[in-house]
Amino acid sequence: MPRHQAWQGFLDVALPAMRARARDGNSPASLQGISEAILSVGDQGAAPAGLPVVEAWLDTALAVPWNTRTCRSFAGGAAAGAAHVLAQADRRCRRQRECAESHANAMLLGPAGIQERRDPRISLNLLAPQTRYPVHQHAPEETYLVLSPGQFLKPERDWFEPGGGGSFFVPPNAVHAMRAEEEPLFALRALRA
């Protein structure tokens, strides 16, 4: 079964945007593997469930001037546009680990995602202002493309702000975290087992 046109369009923009910014660690190799893996289409996932943080903060995250400027600088505005189309079409997220009022993890491809599959995993994360996603670790390596202001923690580095359009790599099983301050944090992440 072919992938839904809206999701395919998002992936056609998001992965090249991620690859264009990926210079940290093994990000380029990881994203190349993800690009190859998503050529095969997974099963259709279950219907998503709405989360309050999406209704409350998504428009604000997408409207941050930094976000718009940065996305235009590396993808002609297509990445921000695709994220906005994706969000407007559904405005629902699939998974959360924290409170639904402060964090949403919209799993696009992956376990319990819009497209069910084990590997790779691609999701959008939205944190409300003044929200910290706790320190955690997981086996899959991970590459972030940050689309708004926000701070991150990773091995051998104190809290840092990659900036809109910033990208960074998290090795397998590395301890990491993220937090939003005055603005909501909006980021795309890709994981590869």
pLDDT tens per residue, range 19-75: 888 888 789 999 999 888 888 887 777 666 677 787 788 778 777 665 555 555 444
- Contact between 168 and 27 under an 8 Å Cβ cutoff? The reply is yes
**What is the structure's pLDDT at 75?**
45
Written as one letter, the residue type at 82 is A
- Contact between 104 and 96 under an 8 Å Cβ cutoff? The reply is yes
Q: Which CATH superfamily is 5-192 part of?
A: Jelly Rolls (2.60.120.10)
Q: How many CB atoms lie within 10 A of CB 18?
A: 26
Dist CA 19 CA 32 (whole Å): 8
Dist CA 23 CA 8 (whole Å): 25
Q: For the whole model, what pTM was predicted?
A: 0.82
Q: Is the dihedral of CA 159, 79, 126, 108 positive or negative?
A: negative
Using the 8-state DSSP alphabet, how is residue 148 labeled? S
